[in-house]
Amino acid sequence: MQITKKYLDDLSYKVIGCAIEVHKQLGPGLLESVYEKCFVRELEIQGLKYKQQFWVPIEYKGVELNSELRLDILVEDVLCVELKAVYEFIPIYDAVLLSYMKMLKSPKGILINFKCTNIFKEGQKTLVNELYSALPKE
């Protein structure tokens, strides 16, 4: 299957829907680890494949190095998802997610913050990179 912008946008919509459902059920006051367990359960319910706490490999000058970098969730082997339970997004979260996307050659990523009033309005942020720009529309 060829990955397209439409495929990634539809997948993002489903993933954000999963986050909204978790937030609707649990509210904003719990630990990130609790949200992660419920979020992956919701991904399963929606029939989405995922890898949880995915080790991000670092290749440096042709050599793969051991690292302690872990992406929270990789959905359908293409969409990076970082979960948070914080008062607000800060720029380092964008930088980390963009780095993971680069290392994994993923064109799109989503930051999700469960410590908010409304996931759709303030609790999610979608990031894309040059790989996304190069994808066909459909």
Token pair in block for residue 137: 């529309």
Tell me, what's the pLDDT at 67? 83
What average pLDDT does range 93-120 have in this prediction?
97
Tell me, what's the pLDDT at 6? 97
Tell me, what's the pLDDT at 2? 85
Cβ neighbours of residue 115 closer than 8 Å, sequence gap 6 or more: 28, 29, 84, 85, 86, 87
Binned at pLDDT 50, 70 and 90, residue 10 comes out as very high
Residue 8: pLDDT above 90? Answer: yes
Q: Whole-model pTM?
A: 0.95
Tell me the DSSP string of 76-107: TTTEEEEEE-SSS--HHHHHHHHHHHHHHT-S
User: How wide is the angle at C-alpha 103 spanned by C-alphas 102 and 108, nearest 5°?
Assistant: 40
What average pLDDT does range 1-9 have in this prediction?
93
Tell me, what's the pLDDT at 66? 83
Percent of the chain with pLDDT over 90: 93
Tell me, what's the pLDDT at 63? 94
Binned at pLDDT 50, 70 and 90, residue 121 comes out as very high
Residue count of the chain: 138
Determine the 3-state secondary structure of 113 from DSSP: strand
Tell me, what's the pLDDT at 57? 87
Dihedral of alpha carbons 112, 125, 17, 74, sign: negative
